[in-house]
Chain A
Amino acid sequence: ETGVTQTPRHLVMGMTNKKSLKCEQHLGHNAMYWYKQSAKKPLELMFVYSLEERVENNSVPSRFSPECPNSSHLFLHLHTLQPEDSALYLCASSVGSYNSPLHFGNGTRLTVT
């Protein structure tokens, strides 16, 4: 399997649930990203990991918790979310972090009820 794979594709969760989003890249890249995409808004960078070390946290609420166990896998742990957190969550990877294009997965469509 090639590219960037995200699971699940769709997720519905209540405000008190705990769930995790998973991302796996098969491109040999060393940087991984979480982005949030909401309707009518630009993509928002959430977290960046480079060589498994978190290098950027873009003022994201603590109810979102990332984890990068190795350079191929990235998780986003979710707990006590709000309805306004409903969005498409996109994972991406790149070779290095400067001037390198991002390669995106197809995202997880999250609905918080």
Chain B
Amino acid sequence: GAGVSQSPSNKVTEKGKDVELRCDPISGHTALYWYRQSLGQGLEFLIYFQGNSAPDKSGLPSDRFSAERTGGSVSTLTIQRTQQEDSAVYLCASSLEAVKNIQYFGAGTRLSVL
């Protein structure tokens, strides 16, 4: 696609429910990243994918968070048993493997946990 696509753009859920956030990176970008942006905070790194594998999951805040990537393309971030502190904008970015720091961001998914 022309850019990084994320869905849904907004998600409202009840505390304790599971949610899935989707990211479709730029075609040809093998590196994919998830960040979280909470109100008044900077972007917080969550996870990095190199192809379908995730060599760095160090930013995932708890074991309720997981992510996968299939076919070297679409990635899904899953949050189980959501808590109110999970409310944030979840941003996905992708890049060429050779130029990892030049990252292109999607519009994000705004998650609200009631």
* B is bound to A: no
Which residues on A are within 8 Å of B, measured CB to CB? none
Which residues on B are within 8 Å of A, measured CB to CB? none
